[in-house]
Amino acid sequence: MNNPFLWISLLKIVGILFVVILPMVSYTVYAERRVSAFIQDRVGPNRVGPEGLLQPIADVVKLLMKEDFSPSHVNPFYYWLAPTLAVMPAIITMAVVPFGSSLFGVPMVIADVNIGILFVFAISSLGVYGIVLAGWASNSKYSFLGGVRSSSQMISYELCLGLAVIPIFLLVGHLRLTDVVRYQIENGWLIAPFIGDWLNPTKWLLAIPMLISFGVFTIAIFAETNRLPFDLPEAEQELAGGYHTEYSSMKFALFFLGEYAAMITGSAVIVTLFFGGWHFPLPSWSGGFHWALVDGSAPGWKGVAGGLFNIVIFFAKVAALLFFFIWVRWTLPRFRYDQLMRLGWIFFFEIALANIFLVAGILTFAR
């Protein structure tokens, strides 16, 4: 155990997953309650602590003290397994996302695997198991219907999830997520390519398929995390709670937090692929006007400041995208189940597929 890489990785895991991501999940719940209240012309929780900021802590205390009850009619092994399978994929996927440039010489990504995005897709597909097991093991009609609907929805939208981002990797050439970020540093964010060679028409032409890709991928992430307008599996008006009807206290908390953790991970992946990850160009006039790169590689305190700046920028972008998730939830009505499946299998699948051919064509003939 003298291996420094192991210790540093352990520190990164504890420092990011436990200190940043898990509190971020509870505060996303708080943000949802506040933002949705403001959108609905009401105030939201503002009593516990200043402006209600200690509300998640009160919620945690309440959930910990609740009686952990298992109904007698459930299948005990899968009933206990399902909430963990709902939470773990969302958290594990954060391991490959680069949330910063580097700090004290340590790259700010827990596992910089060269299969990058394939890891994300593989692990997030495991999230389906949590829901289908919860619906089946609960041994109740509402849960079963909710579980079945949710699992079919998630599997359908995994198609367009994968196909939508293939154009990016056609462009970048590597699957590694840090390489995607490095490509965006040199050539501008994929949906806002304002860095680099302005006179190259191919670059501007490629922005159109990248926007299509961004749209399809974001909508697929909405469907994967069971967020409105695709939240039929947990529609209270129709299913009395859906697949988590029979769960209480800590197991329900795990489902609830798993949904928000999946939202955060989805936002993190979208930020990495389309919004330039941790990069934020600062204008610099020394030696002619250019966009200066701020990252953690400068020596001394400037490098530390740069590294911290990158981490803050990454989480700011994730927070902005989470605001967008909440904003859309309280704007759009819910899709009917057949409309949902039709969109996933016919509409978005074809658009993503056509997008791949479009980008391949542009790259072949314009280079």
Partner 1 sequence: MAVTVTRPNLNWREKIYLPAILSGLAITLNHFKRMLLGQTKVTMQYPEQRRDAEMPDYYRGAPALVRDTNGRVRCVACQLCEFICPPRAIKILPGEIPDADQFAKVEKYPEEFDIDMIRCIYCGMCEEVCPEQAIFLRKDYAITGFTREDMVHHKDKLLEIGGVMHGVVLKWNERK
Least separation, in Å, of the C-beta of 215 and partner 1?
Answer: 9
Least separation, in Å, of the C-beta of 311 and partner 1?
Answer: 27
Cβ proximity to partner 1: between 109 and 343 the closer is: 343
Task: Please give the distance of CA 54 from its chain centroid, rounded to a whole number.
Answer: 24
Q: Which residues contact 95 (CB under 8 A, 6 or more apart)?
A: 13, 110, 111
Q: Which of 18, 38, 194, 198 binds partner 1 (CB under 8 A)?
A: 38
Q: Which of 1, 4, 5, 42 binds partner 1 (CB under 8 A)?
A: 42
From 41-49, 89-97, 120-128, 129-137, give the range in contact with partner 1 by CB under 8 A.
Answer: 41-49
Kindly list the distances between the CA atom of residue 367 and the CA atoms of 169, 171, 190, in Å, as whole numbers in the listed order. Answer: 16, 11, 18
Least separation, in Å, of the C-beta of 330 and partner 1?
Answer: 6
Cβ proximity to partner 1: between 169 and 214 the closer is: 214
- Rounded distance, CA 213 to CA 204, Å? 15
Q: What six digits make up the tokens of 363?
A: 């790259």
From 6-14, 160-168, 232-240, 324-332, give the range in contact with partner 1 by CB under 8 A.
Answer: 324-332
Which residues, 94 to 113, sit near partner 1 by CB under 8 A?
A: none
Q: What are the beta bridge partners of residue 192? A: 189
The reply on whether position 331 binds partner 1 by CB under 8 A is yes
The reply on whether position 327 binds partner 1 by CB under 8 A is yes
Q: What six digits make up the tokens of 353?
A: 């597929």
The reply on whether position 338 binds partner 1 by CB under 8 A is no
- Rounded distance, CA 28 to CA 48, Å? 16
Q: What six digits make up the tokens of 235?
A: 């529609």
Least separation, in Å, of the C-beta of 276 and partner 1?
Answer: 23
Q: What six digits make up the tokens of 157?
A: 């939208």
| Number of residues located near partner 1, criterion CB under 8 A | 14
Q: Which of 328, 341, 351, 353 binds partner 1 (CB under 8 A)?
A: 328
The reply on whether position 41 binds partner 1 by CB under 8 A is yes
- Rounded distance, CA 342 to CA 347, Å? 7
**Burial (0-12, 13-18, 19+ Cβ within 10 Å), 323:** middle
The reply on whether position 208 binds partner 1 by CB under 8 A is no
Closest among 175, 151, 152 to 162, alpha carbons compared: 175
From 39-47, 92-100, 118-126, 181-189, give the range in contact with partner 1 by CB under 8 A.
Answer: 39-47
Least separation, in Å, of the C-beta of 328 and partner 1?
Answer: 7
The reply on whether position 330 binds partner 1 by CB under 8 A is yes
Q: Which of 10, 14, 40, 204 binds partner 1 (CB under 8 A)?
A: 40
Which residues, 45 to 84, sit near partner 1 by CB under 8 A?
A: 46
Cβ proximity to partner 1: between 110 and 219 the closer is: 219
Least separation, in Å, of the C-beta of 259 and partner 1?
Answer: 21
Neighbours of 283 (CB within 10 A): 8
Q: Which residues contact 126 (CB under 8 A, 6 or more apart)?
A: 85, 88, 89
The reply on whether position 39 binds partner 1 by CB under 8 A is yes
The reply on whether position 35 binds partner 1 by CB under 8 A is yes
From 50-58, 288-296, 323-331, 348-356, give the range in contact with partner 1 by CB under 8 A.
Answer: 323-331
Binding site for partner 1 (CB under 8 A): 35, 37-43, 46, 327-328, 330-332
